[in-house]
Amino acid sequence: MKVSVLQYEPDYLAVAANLDRVESMLADLESDLLILPELFATGYFFRSTEDLQSVAEPVPDGPTTKRLHDWSRRLGCVIVAGVPELCSGRLFNSAVVVAPDGPIGRYRKLHLYYQEKLHFSPGNSGLPVFDVTDRTGVRYRLGVMVCFDWYYPETARSLALAGADVIAHPSNLVRPDCPRAMPIRALENHVFTATANRVGKETTGDETLEFIGQSLICSPDGDVLGRMDRDAIGLATVSIDPLVSRTRTVTPHNDLFADRRTDAYVL
Ligand code: ACM
């Protein structure tokens, strides 16, 4: 199957224009799984909670999830994308998962970064893993984490222990370290990872954040299968066999998960 990550620069709060731009970037896409960045249609560095409220929407009934589903149906592709979710008056930094047949779930970011804590509630939906199908009918298991979740190795580990073959990772990275860390998250859990980041800058007036691009897709052996440049705009696509993640033999005497010493760890 093919996995793709999209990297671009959204305009702050310009949801309709951002959706149109992403749609035009996807026109010729042939892929089974597409990852879009965190908060891909709204921008990230909210100047106020009112700004965030003005673009937050219910999931799955909001317009962005509906548009994602249109794309998924037309492309025959599962899509994971970051959306600001409004639920019972609370705001979550969420990622939705849509398949051609319809939306199949969402994940609410557990580990909020920096000023996200001023505006969002921390996730309360656990770490679900979704059963999905590629265009040839191969079923695989898809986990989702959002950006700063990478900093907590427990996140990727929990998804892998729950059976994820591929971890989709919508991001708005500003720290330089994640592109170095993701091959290790993939290796230490023997999963595929696909990080879709954005580029450009956003300012609140007082402070400016610069996003670091470098979207990347990693193999269960920790190899970087595809990586975009810091300022690149476009898509990176690689071919993978998602089910190779399931063989976790390290040596004839070592199995990655069976050998875990949960009796000795501090959790
Ligand atoms: C981040 O979690 N967006 C840095």
CB 146 within 8 Å of CB 184: no
Give percent above pLDDT 70 in the chain: 100
CB 242 within 8 Å of CB 208: no
Catalytic, 50? Answer: no
Of all atoms in ligand 1, which is nearest to the CA of residue 44?
A: 3
What spacing in Å lies between the alpha carbon of 1 and ligand 1's midpoint?
Answer: 28
Average pLDDT over residues 96-123: 98
The per-residue pLDDT for 267 is 79
pLDDT digits (tens, 9 = 90+) for 197-217: 999 999 999 999 999 999 999
Q: Which of 57, 85, 109, 218 is catalytic?
A: 109
Catalytic, 30? Answer: no
Average pLDDT over residues 5-24: 98
Q: Three-state secondary structure along 200-261?
A: EEEECCCCEEEEECCCEEECCCCCEEEECCCCCCEEEEEECCHHHHHCCEEECCEECCCCCC
Of all atoms in ligand 1, which is nearest to the CA of residue 112?
A: 2
Question: What is the rounded average pLDDT for all residues in the chain?
Answer: 98
What spacing in Å lies between the alpha carbon of 88 and ligand 1's midpoint?
Answer: 24
Residue nearest to atom 3 of ligand 1 (CA): 172
Name the band, by pLDDT with cuts 50, 70 and 90, for residue 5.
very high
Angstrom CA distances, 143 to 46, 131, 140, 168, stand at: 27, 9, 10, 6
| pLDDT at residue 3 is higher than 90 | yes
Average pLDDT over residues 221-233: 98
Name the band, by pLDDT with cuts 50, 70 and 90, for residue 240.
very high
Grouping H, G, I as helix, E, B as strand and the rest as coil, residue 65 is: helix
Name the band, by pLDDT with cuts 50, 70 and 90, for residue 105.
very high
Is 0.95 surpassed by the pTM of this model? yes
| pLDDT at residue 83 is higher than 90 | yes
Catalytic, 109? Answer: yes
pLDDT digits (tens, 9 = 90+) for 36-76: 999 999 999 999 999 999 999 999 999 999 999 999 999 99
| pLDDT at residue 4 is higher than 90 | yes
